Amino acid sequence: MLQLFPFSAWIALVTSTCLLVILWSCGDIGATQGVALSVWLVVAGYLQFFGESMTTVAVGLALQTVLALYLILYWKTRA
């Protein structure tokens, strides 16, 4: 199936990764929270890109999107 936006699967991953790195390097996220969010990022990315069923891929994408939204809202409320 031809996707309308073939890069759309990468948007949540790139957003989550960039915001996690920025917030962690600025000191807005502590070590424990940073490690927990990093594990969430890795697990969601693994499920999204290496899942064997469509359900697993959908769960990974949903987790990645929720993480991106959480980091955006965290950044906006801390600023």
pLDDT at residue 76 in the model? 93
pLDDT at residue 2 in the model? 47
pLDDT at residue 7 in the model? 76
Question: From residue 56, how far is each of 45, 71, 73 by CA, in Å?
Answer: 11, 23, 26
pLDDT tens track of the chain, all 79 residues?
445 566 777 898 999 999 999 999 999 999 999 999 999 999 999 998 898 988 998 899 899 999 999 999 999 998 6
